[in-house]
Structure formats: C-alpha cells, structure tokens
Amino acid sequence: MLHLSQQQRLLQKLTPQQIQYLKLLQLPSLALEQMIKTELEINPLLEEGVDGETDAEQSTDETPAVEEEAKQEEEEKKKDEFSFEDYLSDEESFAPKRETHQQNDDEEKEEIPIAATTPLTEKLLDQLHLADVTDMGMLVAEEIIGNIDEDGYLRRDLESIVNDINLSNKMHLTVNQVEEVLCIIQRMEPVGIASRSLQECLLVQLEFAKGDHTLIEHAKRLLRDHFDEFTKKHYEKIAEVLGISIDDVKKLLDVISHLNPKPGEGTIDAQQNYLTPDFIVTNDEDTFIIQLNDKNVPPLRINRNYKELMSKRNKEVGSDTKQFLRSKFDAAKWFIASIYQRRETMLKVMQEIVNRQRDFFERGEGLKPLIYKDIAEVIRMDISTISRVVNGKYVQTDFGVYELRYFFSEGISTQNGEDVSNKEVKARIKEILGTEDKSKPLSDEDIAAILKEKGYNIARRTVAKYRESMMIPVARLRRSI
C-alpha cells in the first residue's frame, strides 16, 4: 500500500553563480588568465576594457537621443516584464573598479630571453642514430626512452615493454633482446640513464670512472656484492669483507660519492621550472603593501553593441536570438562579478596572513602558529573558502617566494609560555644537525634534550616525526667516516 508522508529538512544548495565563484577562487593566476581567454571566446557579450569608456565618448553628442530613447523604453517597460536596462541597472555593483596604468617607454621591462634547450629524449635518440643500432633496436630504444622518469630511471619492467612492442608491432622480441638495447642506452650520455635501480646506475658509471684501478674494482665489488651493508653504512663490516682498512673504505666512499645517483635530474628547462606568484608583498617603511599579481588579467565589461539587438524595439531580431543574448548577458555579468569577488576575497585573506605573521614579513623568521579557522573568524568566511584561497597560491616577499600554506602550522608551547610554529622548531632541528659530529650523529633523544635546553618542550617522538617530514635519515644513516 502506498503511504504519503511529509518531512522537513534543512538543505543548503549552491547557485550556479556561487559554484562559478568557488571555481575561480581556487585557480592560480596563470589558470585564471587562461579561463578568461576561454570565456572571451565563447561569450560574445564579454569583452576586454574598462567599463564606462564608450559612454564617456558618446555622452556629449548623443544626450538628446538618449533622453528620447529613455522615454520610449520607459513606456515599453510597462508592456514588457523586462528590458535591457533591467540587466544593466545593477552593473555598477559588480563591475570591478580597476585603475588603469599606462607604462612609459622607460617603465616597460623586456622579458629575459630563455635559451632554447634540447629535451633529454632527443639527446638520447640523436646518440642512438650515431650508434650501430638496427631498425628493430631503434623501435625498442624509443619505447625504453619513453618510459624514463624525471630522475632518469626506468621504472617499468622489461616484460611489460616487450609485451607492448610485440602486440603493437606484431613482433616476437625476447627480454634478452630488449636488455641488449637497454645496455647501449645506459652507456650513453648521461651515463647510467635508464637504470632500473640505484645499484645498477652506480655500477654502470663505475665502468667509466677514472683513477686508481684497484680502488675502482673494490668499489664495484662493494656495490655488486655488499650493497646492503653500503646503504646501512656498516663501515667496519665492509672493511672486514673486502679485506681493507677503514681509511681505504673512506677512499671507496669518496669515489662513489662523486657518481650521479639521478642521471636524469637537471633536464627541466627554465620554462617548465618557472613559478608565478599570485601575491606580491613589499615592506615600505614598516607598511606592508599587498598587491594581487593580476597584471596579465584584463579588465572585463559588457559589450554594449548588443543593446539594440536586445531591445524590444528591434523587430529584426527574433525572440530566440534575444533570449540567447540575455542568457549570455547573465553569464557575462556573473563572470565579471565572480572575478571581482575573487579579487576581494584573496586580498582579505592575504592581508590577514600578513597581520598574523608580521614578524616573518619583517625579518624572514619568527612564524607563529596559525590555522585556517583563525583567518576565517576574522574575515567572517567559511574555512573551505580560506582553503581554496591558500591551496596552490604563492606570495613573493622580500625573503623569497613562499606557498601560502607555509604560513599555516600548528603551535608548540615553550617554557616561557609562548606559542611558536612547528616550522620554527624544524628550523632549530636543522641547525642542530648541521653542527653535529658526523662520526657520532645525534639520536632523536639527544636532539630533544638540546631543544629542551633551548626552551622547547619537545618529546622524542615529535622530533622523529619532524625529522622524517624533512626527509632527514636516522642517526645511523647520517654517520660518516
């Protein structure tokens, strides 16, 4: 039997305008520029320019016509439920007021030219063309090179590569045939490229090492037969199994330390490694000037050339066309409003971050504990909004470029009762480890004791957690002869 019932629930739904605003808010500057270009292409009512320029040019010679037109349209408003002015009436409320700044010739800054670079894949293929490699070998080499990661390692197993080549080219290659091509690639420049492990990478480079032949042979034996002892820094055991002294072990380690553990590193060009900050904060006589780095974001306005097309008096345009233009007008208005609101929100968040972390922006150190909730309560916004502003955004300061997330951290109480950021504690740990005796590295318990003497109440487990987050190995692995 069918039963009917009533329920009362409180739901929160986002409007399309709010969804668009939230999407824009989480975009960094470069992504925002691209999105504006896309919107300009798909919306004919949206154009670049400061609102009001067209009106100022026409105000002197078209005033009588405008007044007459206003009277006619006022009469038509009574007959129709909306008109163009209904859409434009609140335009001033959402159009961003942007100062126009025209640069003089002296102010224009030329971009620094970036030298052309050859990708690593092309360098390897060029070397293969000079080597005695068959057409089948080139096919295998291209597949191997295409699977090399940014560190220069081949992380994919040869069986999978063989299966892909055989299936796509209807061939019957074996793993041994592919491994022969791999050996050729590993001995090209940079030596050790396409290695499958650190051990293999170092052994290949030792084949081309110059120096004491006996020392190099001992190094090969160490890496080939006693790699586990090498990684764990069991120096006494290494000296015993190789039948050499501790001084000779030190010489072996010196030879190995000059090898390149990441042969593919450094192949990223300047264009790929370029970071554009979203904010610029400068200190001008103890007054912080906060700028949103949107110089490449053009000012937007509604294209007024479509006014006649949307007017009720224009009988040449059909109702479907007018409805299309009205929908595009709404989309353009919402888009401009979202960009303006994004700008205001981001500046509010950045201003409060500067207020809370004033010591850091003055001296480059002295971060204080800060969480998203602290900012949200002051500017009266949701924590999720703060998260969207912070994630993926960067700020240029007098002391370098930092991600906004860098300024947020948990707090730790000192013996004086003050709260300090855990990033300050990590900095102190780095300082302590930088001055330790490498032959007898400090344990986590020793580090905790030194920090306690400096006034930081830190447990050993907390020291271990911070050390691991900074990718610093344990004391045993930091030991050196």
- Most distant CA pair in the chain: distance in Å? 106
pLDDT attached to residue 128: 85
Decide: helix, strand or coil at residue 481: coil
Query: Looking at the predicted structure, is the pLDDT value of residue 2 above 50?
Result: yes
pLDDT in tens, 89-138: 444 444 444 444 444 444 444 455 555 567 788 888 888 888 778 888 88
Question: Which has the minimum average pLDDT: 73-82, 141-150, 259-268, 307-316?
Answer: 73-82
Both tokens assigned to 193: 């490229």
Residue bearing the bigger pLDDT, 183 or 171: 183
159-173, 246-260, 418-432: least confident range:
418-432
Contact 290, 281 (CB under 8 A): yes
| pLDDT given for residue 86 in this prediction | 44
Collapse the DSSP code of 13 into the 3-class scheme (helix H, G, I; strand E, B; otherwise coil) and give the result. Answer: coil
- The predicted pLDDT at position 94 comes to 45
Q: Looking at per-residue confidence, does 305 or 42 come out higher?
A: 42
Q: What is the mean pLDDT of residues 148-157?
A: 89
pLDDT band for position 294 (50/70/90)?
confident
Q: Tens digit of pLDDT for each residue in 253-279?
A: 889 989 999 898 765 554 555 778 889
Please give the residue that has the higher pLDDT: either 370 or 319. Answer: 370
Greater model confidence, 180 or 130: 180
Mean pLDDT for 175-196 is 91
Report the candidate in 463, 475, 469 with the shortest Cα–Cα distance to residue 438: 475
- State whether residue 411 is helix, strand or coil: strand
Q: Give which of 162, 163, 188 is closest to 175, Cα–Cα.
A: 162
**DSSP string of 220-279, one letter each residue:** HHHHHH-HHHHHTT-HHHHHHHHT--HHHHHHHHHHHHTS-S-TTTT---TTTT----SE
Which of 194-203, 305-314, 325-334 has the least mean pLDDT?
A: 305-314
Residues 317-338: what's their mean pLDDT?
Answer: 83
Sheet holding 279-284, edge to edge: 287-292, 279-284, 394-397, 400-403
| Candidate from 9-13, 44-48, 299-303, 428-432 with smallest mean pLDDT | 9-13
For the chain, the average pLDDT equals 80
End-to-end CA distance of the chain: 85
> So what's the pLDDT on residue 88?
43
Taking each continuous run of H as one helix and of E as one strand, the counts in the chain are: 24, 8
Provide the pLDDT for residue 286.
Answer: 79
Average pLDDT over residues 138-156: 88
Per-residue pLDDT averaged across 351-357, rounded? 92
Cβ density class 212-222: b for 16+ within 10 Å, e for less: eeebbebbeeb
Distance CA 305, CA 308 (A): 7
pLDDT higher than threshold 60 for residue 54:
no
pLDDT of residue 92: 40
Q: Does residue 14 register a pLDDT over 50?
A: yes
Amino acid 313: pLDDT: 61
Mean pLDDT lowest for which of 38-47, 232-241, 407-416? 407-416
Q: What is the pLDDT of residue 116?
A: 57
Residue 413: beta bridge partners?
Answer: 419
Please give the average per-residue pLDDT across 409-438, as a whole number. 80
More confident residue, 408 or 272: 408
Q: Give the pLDDT mean for 81-96.
A: 42
Could you tell me what percent of the chain has a pLDDT over 90? 14
Question: Between residues 137 and 202, which one has the greater pLDDT?
Answer: 202
Q: Which residues pair with 409 in a beta bridge?
A: 370
Grade residue 62 by pLDDT with cuts at 50, 70 and 90.
very low
**Residue 353 pLDDT:** 93
In the prediction, which pLDDT does 345 show? 92
Strand partners, 288: 283
Please tell me the predicted confidence (pLDDT) of residue 206. 93
* pLDDT at residue 76, as a whole number: 47
Closest CA to 312 of 303, 321, 299, 304: 321
Rounded distance between C-alpha atoms, residue 128 and residue 339, angstroms = 51
The β-bridge relationship of strands 279-284 and 394-397 is: parallel
Long-range contacts of 51-60 (CB under 8 A, 24+ apart): 51/91, 51/95, 51/299, 51/301, 51/302, 54/304, 55/304
**Cα–Cα nearest to 165, from 146, 188, 139, 183:** 139
Q: Cα–Cα distance between 77 and 309 in angstroms, integer?
A: 16
Strand partners of residue 289: 282
pLDDT at 84 over 70: no
Q: How confident is the model at residue 53 (pLDDT cuts 50, 70, 90)?
A: low
Lowest mean pLDDT among 61-65, 181-185, 384-388, 424-428: 61-65
Residue 357 CB coordination number (10 Å): 19
